[in-house]
Structure 1
């Protein structure tokens, strides 16, 4: 009896245990299945949501613009931005985030470009534009709005220098020298060339070329490079514009001040065509003035020359100013015989211009026709006493005669003299 009861109790316990196990297994299985398919449904829904957001963003921010001004010879670089500006008003001052790269065919047809630009609208709200064009993929410019730019608004990245330079150069004439079918234009903003000079072409605000050998120090600017894609052996032509435009003053690291060094060299190029103490002529020939002695603000110089780009120097004249003292403010040679040196006197209040026609072995002071000015009170003065270093234009040489550090007559105005005989005689113009 006891045995039978015991067996029944065991059988009941086993049935109870078996029932609980199956319930657990059922619950776990159900949860596993629900979790598995729930995750799949979630992933599917979120993936769809992401795609939907992407589609919405694309519709809102990606635009297509008809590209009409697609010939670089006819419309220049600015033609790209003029087409964009018809549909979307661009900020007046634009900046480039990385660089602008354009490729075009031999007939000037643009086949590719890309750039990321930004600026602020009239309400000081930032606007960004990723612009892209590939002729093989679409006839339209692709424009993506409302991106995230590294918008530090540094003047190093201004686009205005590109537009101004583009107006003054002939891209067609430049590439005509290369027997290729495809060409490129690259603009990165401000560049410091240090000692590198290959392919650099200096131009002034009228498009005239300026001899590169006038710059013996650092050269900073906003070059526009024209090159042949995939042909590194062909040196690009790098146009570097020197101008009086607002952006030129930002060539200094300190963007609030004009760089004294660059500005001095710019003044030299525009007005004097020489450098302060050294002049590059051609084929490795240079001249320089060495300070041999200095006392109480007075300098004593000797003139040196090199024929091998500075490897060896020799003295031409141990005393070019015949014992006179002062401080030079420029040197310029027309050729290996005729040259000029300017000397400042009395703390910069007056200057003198010396000329040589024997390669610097001897110098003589140039005498200019003196101009007298009558003031309102009847006093006679001769304020124009500071001649610049001569510069050449259209086959003539010119000199501006200013007033020195102590001059203030008529807004510190100056006179202009010209010479048809390389500085032997000078005629007053205005």
Structure 2
């Protein structure tokens, strides 16, 4: 009985000690409880604001939206600063002025404050890890706004355009300014085209091109170059983007520079009562037997506009034109005829030849000619960090004039053009590659390019030695037709090494709407 009585007294004493109960709470105990509640509430508020700050930071890294996210994020930063200042002031006051609490009260307060602190640290750690992983993911290529910003910091260069008069400095003035900050290979190739706009005084208003070449150490370098005087006086250069580098002499930049040195540019545009003019160069290209606007010019500037189309006209042609008014003013197309092997003296074709041209001189990954007159071209409309947006253009006169038939054939997706082919005037295919040519998608049209749909291929999964499965075939080539059956080879892209770089052969019986896997084909 004495033992139970002692136990009861012990429990009663402990309860009083824990809650400060001795009939009535003294003032110190009230202060302790009030401070404890305030402290816990403060921790909860801190955790909430910390979560909001990381939530907004994650959205900022993924989507940008500076106006919305930055306002809330900076509000959270101000809260943390105020929290730190208030905490510092309270610590100083407590040491100087706070009366000593009873031993029991201090022990109770410290106990619960320690628990609150541990819970707060755990919550902050979980929030940090959860959103830290998301923010890291947004820094990986193409996964968020942060990846574009980091890509720009690494690969984007800006150079002020000092030599901005094309009459006085020519195109070489542009490269003189660029080379002040960016070292470019001596031998350069154009990926698509080189286009320049300028006004009647010769001031360059904009230009755009994508160049590549090898350094002295045989390393591929690419340069996506653009300039718009309405936005900035700086030339913007993106380095190390994906480019289909075939090093074709048909795409050399040097003929443009040589031709621009001798053509009478100011005299040419003075014949047109306009304020804006343009120059465009695609490398060596074919105009078929259409001699409209063709002017042969030699290295001394002597010209001959009386060009007879006794053979297919092929050359490194530099076109001078009025943007948007090509139908009103026939562009002048200068062919430098000496030093560039710029004339093709092949025999004219036999009459009544209506076969599709499967590989014309200027057919490439972004241009295709269905006949001597009908051609399709993917034109760059926007660029960012090595990826581009395109429109689909059509020519019905062998490349003399072009019109846009689809402003966004890839439905908002960006990348690098990896192929264009039309099997007739209605049915065609486009391919857009991503991630440096690691993968891509095929798009199909059956209305002449007015609309496109993404082509779906049945996934072909292979099993690795570790038991994992994946589909290595993710970069489609261009479909071809034989005896009514459509076939396409799907490769592994730049990052593929499965089975010696083999490809998957797919075939279609309904003109490319649906596809079936046939077999795995060797790389060759």
Q: Which category describes the TM-score, using the shorter chain as reference length? A: 0.3 to 0.5
More helix by share: 2
| Bigger radius of gyration among the two | 1
* TM-score, normalised by the number of residues in structure 1: 0.47
* TM-score, normalised by the number of residues in structure 2: 0.39
